[in-house]
Chain A
Amino acid sequence: MTDVKDIVARIDQLEPVPPTAGRIMALAQDPDSSMSEIAELILNDPAITANLLKTCNSAYFGLNRKVDSVRDAIGYVGLDHVVQLVMLNSVCQNFKNTPQGYGLGEGELWRHAVTSAHLAKILAGKFGRSRHKHLIYTAALLKDIGKLILGRFVAFSFEEINILVNSKGYSFNDAEKQIIGMNHEELGALVGQKWCFSDKLIYIIRHHHLSNESAREDLETSLVYLADIICMMMGVCTGADGLSYRFYGDVLNRLNLAEKDLQAIIAETGENQQKIDYLLNLI
């Protein structure tokens, strides 16, 4: 088993998410906040502002005029898009790196993250409380951040992990824990703590595979879990871990989600693939 301290020490090798991004998300979720407060917060960070304006002026949005202020950006593309673009721009540098160990090619972890986030947004709209849609989107985007560090340890121990998964019926995250001493959920939560994410965001990242029974009763964590397994089923950049995670039918029942709903969500995501491709090329 690897010394967990060695793994945790590598968190500093990641590019931290700017604290402003977290504050923007929190403010966007607060029903008492105003658009001008959010615009002001974005303006305080020149890098976030520049990226936001560049993205809003791209062909993706097809606006017939130049957006040259944060206020215009919110007005023309909407607050939801603005918050999502801020989050995408803030985390993309990390996710564009290719982690070892998970059998993923260049950009595949990023594609999986963005597609999961897109799916989580659809699910939050259909089954969730809209007040938390930004949290659910961001959690789905960041849930696998632990893989960026754990990958090199997975690569080193892959054969042992693979035996537990294929011969002993372990899920991939349980096998990571057993062989390495830590899984990508736990490591992702530690990254979140270090970067001062909200407690709820850390909780979702920590439990997004729902190994913990109480997490299965948490709506936001369940929606992020669901977005993840649908991505796996659709084969969106699944790697060496494939679909080797547990399925919890009771979670779908609790969300009142039947098999036909699952198929409809898969179809909707398949139909939106081109939109996601544009977004991936943009960020």
Chain B
Amino acid sequence: MGQTQTNSNAVALMTAVNCCEMRISTNPVETLVAFSIGSGMGVTVHDPVCGVGGILNFVLPDSGSAKGINPNRVPFMFADTGIPAFLAALVALNAQPERLKVVVAGGAHIMDQTGAFNIGRQNLAALKTCCDAYNLKIHHENTGGSSSRTLSLDIGSGCSSIKIFGQGEEKV
């Protein structure tokens, strides 16, 4: 996390969003960043009208499958508990679901990791099921493969960026 002076009036802020966390901001000079997403999913959501945006960084599809873990303590670890809580927090700040720009990145797998052990693919499927349930349209996705990704959201512009080491940057 760091601060860089950009001009005399504004300070650009970068805030890390770790795995099993979400962050929401209305600060136009803030950039939220989820570093090195593996099989988990990073989801950026931005409402251009009210200027609120956020990143959710979850790692597992279903809270019911994690025996012994209370999802109330770590709701943002799972797609099924994290996405509703993330959206509720955005709506509380006046975001409207039909205006949201949604970008997703992650869902990678270890090479040859097929079938039930491919948790990346399950995370993506769980995310899509949740988005359908909330009538959310995914504007762009960069998923699968065996690369880790860094996903960021510039709150001021609503622009999302997906970086893969050695493969450059995709801006949406």
**A residues at B contact (CB < 8 Å):** 103, 105, 158-159, 162, 165-166, 169, 171, 229, 232-240, 242-249, 252, 258-260, 262-264, 266-268, 270-271, 273
The size bracket of the interface on B is: 35 or more
Q: Are B119 and A271 touching (Cβ within 8 A)?
A: no
Q: Which residue of A lies closest to B61 (CB)?
A: A263
* Least Cβ–Cβ distance between B143 and chain A, in angstroms: 13
Q: Give, as a whole number of angstroms, the nearest-CB distance from A255 to chain B.
A: 12
Give A260 to B114 CA distance when docked, in angstroms.
15
Pairs of residues from A and B, 6 with the lowest C-beta to C-beta distance, nearest first: A267-B66, A235-B38, A247-B113, A259-B116, A233-B39, A247-B110
Cα A64 to Cα B155 in complex, Å, equals: 46
B74 CB–A CB distance under 8 Å = yes
CB–CB A244/B147 < 8 A = yes
Knowing that A233-B38, A238-B148 touch, tell me 14 more A-B residue pairs with CB under 8 angstroms: A158-B166, A233-B109, A234-B38, A236-B38, A240-B165, A242-B38, A242-B146, A243-B38, A245-B110, A252-B117, A260-B65, A262-B119, A266-B59, A267-B60
With contacts A238-B38, A264-B69 taken as known, whether A243 is within 8 angstroms of B111 at the C-beta atoms is yes
Given A237-B36, A263-B60, A264-B65, are A273 and B19 neighbors across the interface (CB < 8 Å)?
yes
Q: B74 — which chain A residues lie within 8 A by C-beta?
A: 267, 270-271
Query: Residues on B close to A: CB < 8 A?
Result: 18-20, 35-40, 59-60, 62, 65-69, 73-74, 77, 106, 108-117, 119-120, 146-148, 164-167
Inter-chain contacts of A264 with B (CB < 8 A): 65-69
For the A-B complex, the count of residue pairs with Cβ-Cβ distances under 8 Å equals 132
Q: How far, in Å, is B97 (CB) from chain A's closest CB?
A: 27
A259–B117 touching, CB < 8 Å: yes
Which chain A residues lie closer than 8 Å to B38 at the CB level? 232-236, 238, 242-243
> Which of A159, A238, A247 lies in contact with B111, CB distance below 8 A?
A247
Q: How far is the CA of A236 from the CA of B57 in the complex (A)?
A: 12
Interfacial chain B residues near A233, Cβ < 8 Å: 38-40, 59, 108-110, 119-120
- Cβ–Cβ < 8 Å partners of A169 in chain B: 111
Interface of B is mostly: loop
Residue of B nearest to A233 (CB): B39
In the complex, are the beta carbons of A239 and B110 less than 8 A apart?
Answer: no
Query: From residue A141, how far is it (CB to closest CB) to chain B in Å?
Result: 19
**Contact residues in A for B36 (Cβ distance below 8 Å):** 235-239
User: A248 — nearest CB in chain B belongs to which residue?
Assistant: B112
Nearest B-chain residue to A261, judged by Cβ: B67
> Given A234-B39, A263-B60: A268 and B68 within 8 A (CB)?
yes
For the complex, give the distance between the alpha carbons of A245 and B109 in Å.
Answer: 9
A252 neighbours in B (Cβ, 8 Å): 117
- The answer to whether B110 and A249 have CB atoms under 8 Å apart is no
Contact of B19 among A166, A260, A270 (CB under 8 A): A270
